[in-house]
């Protein structure tokens, strides 16, 4: 636990579900309706620093969160992402998985999904 880490100090009223190794909560700055975070309880920076049972716990909770979002918001799809390291855009240095519901028409072009982190490379179907 890191006393300065916002994910090590989550208020219990924000937690949607908790297990021995992970918690799920709504993102405080959602990019879409139902945007959920799945976070390991142990303070780790990277997905690759997790123990196997922690990885399993996160993926199980991710599946649970998807079911909850499907039930409450009926999205048409999901983006699932981890920003692993500062170069990848990680701003809170405690691993967290984003479950981002996607809705028809929420963006002019959804093809390419996470590839849009590099816009010039995203539309690979248009490249020769």
Which residues belong to the active site? 96
Return the H-helix or E-strand segment holding 120: helix 119-122
- How far is residue 95's CA from residue 124's CA, in Å, rounded to a whole number? 29
The total of other beta-carbon atoms located within 10 Å of residue 24's CB is: 22
- How far is residue 36's CA from residue 18's CA, in Å, rounded to a whole number? 13
């Amino acid at each position: 636990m890191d006393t300065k880490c916002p994910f090590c100090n989550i208020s219990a009223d924000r937690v949607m579900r908790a297990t021995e190794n992970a918690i799920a909560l709504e993102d405080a700055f959602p990019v879409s309706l139902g945007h959920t975070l799945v976070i390991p309880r142990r303070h780790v920076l990277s997905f690759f620093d997790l123990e196997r049972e922690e990885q399993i716990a996160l993926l199980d909770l991710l599946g649970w969160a998807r079911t909850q979002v499907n039930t409450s918001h009926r999205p048409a799809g999901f983006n699932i992402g981890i920003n692993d390291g500062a170069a990848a855009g990680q701003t809170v240095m405690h691993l967290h998985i984003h479950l981002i519901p996607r809705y028809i028409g929420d963006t002019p072009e959804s093809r390419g999904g996470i590839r849009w982190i590099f816009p010039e490379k995203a539309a690979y179907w248009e490249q020769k």
